[in-house]
Structure 1
């Protein structure tokens, strides 16, 4: 199912044994195959019904019309979508659902599945494959959309079809339920395979961000409006294209902004983005007369890892440490890469006084232990190895106890970090306000 990158049979044909799909965990492979088999079985079941394999000329023309609109949409947005595919590291939502959802509402399930297959085949050739997206992901996504479309069609059918009159409340409710089912079925199936592919990746990686889901719901609502418009004035549906293309550009800008603020090796905020976010968070804390803290963490003797195992292994270590830091703090805390082997954490909404300082120390010690217990599997020129025995030194400072601005607090935290380094490394130093020496003048 997956297009192999390097594995071929002696005759030069792709070797199925080299498909990327088989490198997934067995439980994930089982789910992928079960969902794809379910989508095929769903289509075959509908084709087996008395009217399931007989389509009117009107239905065929409508299917061709929706497919044409999707092709035009994809061609107009191809450049944007290729960039978006490369820029989006997180959950990706496909704006072509405006056409697949309209097909689900207007066409018999088997014919809607055919439209979906053609739409996604064209997307694969024009967007997914050039963006280096795995073929097995594309096929699985197509299968989930077929099943989601089937659920949406059933909801509208149970409501008596699309709204025919302005007071058809049942028809409107049917479309709303269809939107909900389409999103839920598609999201759950995608989330399930992500969850089975790796250790718990976090809720955002499973179901996407709130604004991603809002975008998908908005796109489906446009698909519902397009389906209703086709029932009265078919060519009016072409007016859906301009707003969809504007949405493409708006989402692309957001993804590019995220890429510009993200450290490529760790997925954390980069230094500039972290400082901007942290400064805003500290200003909010000061307006609310709250307490916050900054931790600076530095990997001890990290140069030895690069020297012994290479920089690619070092990058794997940085990524593994970043994951531990993210998992070791609350969702509202900010974690960033400060540069080299240094990381920074902003702890917001802390208790005032001694309780807050105790919590800062507790979090810092937890992060230090997480790094110390970390085993990082890496691939090196000498083979697959596991890097262990890592340690991190931590310096911390609080607002307002140790400074009123981010720059002041960072200087105090940095001084405490070097106190931990001088004390023997693999230590936490959050002793209290640290005296920062004044810059020496030329005369001094």
Structure 2
């Protein structure tokens, strides 16, 4: 593998380029008109304008991306995460074009990328799943019937893609009626498929995911878990590894269930098996993301492995190391820095006039000072990963980092992190998927009193 086209943008493109440079692999960056000045474009070996600003006219142009890869003699295409990364048709076209897709095979993406099909597969494999619908719900009338059967609150979710973009919590029939068409439309816009389904919303839940890898010989290993329970609008904003929520044999059982899930579909390359952990430490399969995750750096920090390198090696046919050789040490926390109003979480695009980062942190960013965060894409500015010998040390280093960090030109969620990371519930590690929202309500009430 001598040349890889990166079918993505921003910080994940830079992340892939960095590993490719170390491995002596040339890279091709694709970019929209709005992204032409971003650092990843100049850092790649070569670059190509792929289209206008909207994602549907640029980064989702599968045929155009593949054609550019062929014209430029790429051996492989790395999809990053989001965009086309879980698009089975794209992976299949890459394979048919005679190139390597740096990810799971197209038939696996089809099976597990479809969240409904993934639920069926896990049930057959004996992995516990969250109660929900076994088929897509095509109409609001059908959704109302199924929601009554499952019991409110429910999660209305896109079948073709993960993340908070394609899901919403519905407390009652009125909320479901209001959100149904909106979620379908977002699913179509972001994932190319408007099929949605329902799952029971588990109260007092923790969102725990396990990093897995599979190779062509059938080997599957895990690289331990990540806690992704700090969320806003159902999207993760803080992730950490290992999870402070796991005790006793639960960690072992959870990781073994993730490996079982991956083996059930003959999984290859990087994947993440996501679970919901209830207040009694029962866990349920939520979904499997057939790609590298935004939060993969915390796993790299505790294991010492480069997961992009692992992806490339597996794609080249190499075998994975034995499970017993994979050990975890230290504690890592990742913070997603967004250009957004910290009070409303609404995007705050604009010119990044100044960026001053704190010390002693790993920073994965798609921007430098002078770049512009545009309204066309996810407004994440950077991921900050802070590692310590213990969780307490990682937290202390986090406080110091945020005290030293400043971004001018756009609103950011830095004030949120400065305060929430010093809250009792976060410092205790006893938070759930509802904790951030509850903390914000408590804070607002205190300010008004």
TM-score class normalised by the smaller sequence: under 0.3
Structure ranking higher on relative contact order (CA contacts 8 Å, 6+ apart): 2
TM-score (normalizing by structure 1): 0.22
Larger-gyration structure (1/2): 1
Say which structure is richer in strand: 2
Say which structure is richer in helix: 1
